[in-house]
Structure 1
Amino acid sequence: MSDITETTVLRTGIEVDGETARYLTVERDGPAVLLLHGTYWSRVWLPVLGRLADAGLRPVAVDLPGLGRSGGELTPETATVPALAAWVARFASALKLSGPVAVAGHDIGGAVAQHLLVRGPLDVSRLALVNSVTYDSWPVPGVARFRDPQVVAATTADEMLAARRKAVTAALGGAATEQRIADYLDPWTDARVRRSWMAMAGAADSRYTLDAVPALRRNTTPKLLVWGEDDGFQKVGYAERFASEIPHTTLVRVPDAGHIPTENAPGRIARALADFFTA
Structure 2
Amino acid sequence: MNWRSFQQLQKVVEIGDSFISYIDEGKGPPVVLIHGIPMWGYLWHQQIPALAETHRVLVPDLLGFGFSDKRDCFDRSISRQAEVIDQWMNALDIDQAVIVAHDIGGGVALRLATLFPHRVSKLCLLNTVCYDSWPIELMLQAGHPETKRKMSASTATNVLSHALKQGFSHSPDASVMEGLLAPYRTEVGKLSLIRNASALNTNLTTEITSRLPEIRVPALILWGEDDKFQLLKYGERLAWDIPSASLIRIENARHFVMLDQPDQVSRHLVDFLATPSESPRLEASPNGPSATVKR
Structure 1 length-normalised TM: 0.89
SS in structure 2 at match of 1:64: coil
The C-alpha deviation readout for 1:187-244, integer Å capped at 9, x for no partner, is 1112222222111211111111111111112321221111111211111121112212
* Partners of 1:4 and 1:269 in 2: CA distance: 24
Q: Does 1:85 align with 2:82?
A: yes
Q: Is the 8 A contact 1:89 1:121 kept in 2?
A: no
Residues 84, 74 of structure 1: alpha-carbon distance in 2 compared, 3 angstrom cutoff: farther
Identity of aligned residues (%): 28
Residue segments in structure 1 that go unaligned for 5+ positions in a row: none
- Match 1:166 to one of 162, 167, 182: 162
Q: Is the 8 A contact 2:64 2:76 kept in 1?
A: no
* Partners of 2:194 and 2:143 in 1: CA distance: 8
Kindly provide the amino acid, as one letter, of the partner of residue 93 in structure 2: K
The C-alpha deviation readout for 1:237-265, integer Å capped at 9, x for no partner, is 21112212321111111111121111121
- Match 1:96 to one of 93, 109, 120: 93
- Stretch moving more, 129-138 or 162-171: 162-171
Counterpart in 1 of 2:50?
A: 51
* Partners of 1:208 and 1:192 in 2: CA distance: 26
Q: Is the 8 A contact 1:171 1:259 kept in 2?
A: yes
* Partners of 1:237 and 1:152 in 2: CA distance: 34
Kindly provide the amino acid, as one letter, of the partner of residue 86 in structure 2: A
* Partners of 1:191 and 1:66 in 2: CA distance: 13
Counterpart in 1 of 2:15?
A: 16
Q: Does 1:218 align with 2:214?
A: yes
* Partners of 1:175 and 1:33 in 2: CA distance: 29
- Match 2:226 to one of 200, 223, 230: 230
Q: Does 1:241 align with 2:237?
A: yes
* Partners of 1:15 and 1:143 in 2: CA distance: 28
SS in structure 2 at match of 1:205: coil
Q: How much has 1:159 moved relative to structure 2?
A: 3.5
* Partners of 1:175 and 1:210 in 2: CA distance: 33
SS in structure 2 at match of 1:173: coil
- Stretch moving more, 143-152 or 83-92: 143-152
Kindly provide the amino acid, as one letter, of the partner of residue 60 in structure 1: L
Counterpart in 1 of 2:192?
A: 196
Residue segments in structure 2 that go unaligned for 5+ positions in a row: 276-295
Counterpart in 2 of 1:37?
A: 35
Kindly provide the amino acid, as one letter, of the partner of residue 96 in structure 1: D
Kindly provide the amino acid, as one letter, of the partner of residue 240 in structure 1: E
SS in structure 2 at match of 1:79: coil
Q: How much has 1:48 moved relative to structure 2?
A: 0.3
Counterpart in 2 of 1:261?
A: 257
Q: How much has 1:4 moved relative to structure 2?
A: 8.8
Q: Is the 8 A contact 1:239 1:251 kept in 2?
A: yes
Q: Is the 8 A contact 1:225 1:250 kept in 2?
A: yes
Query: Across the two proteins, how many residue pairs are aligned to each other?
Result: 273
* Partners of 1:235 and 1:152 in 2: CA distance: 30
Normalized per residue, which structure has more helix? 1
- Stretch moving more, 152-161 or 163-172: 152-161
Counterpart in 1 of 2:120?
A: 124
Q: Does 1:112 align with 2:108?
A: yes
Counterpart in 2 of 1:134?
A: 130
Q: Is the 8 A contact 2:145 2:194 kept in 1?
A: no
Q: How much has 1:25 moved relative to structure 2?
A: 3.1
Structure scoring higher RCO (CA < 8 A, sep ≥ 6) equals 1
Runs of at least 4 residues of structure 1 off by over 3 A?
A: 146-156
Q: How much has 1:19 moved relative to structure 2?
A: 4.1
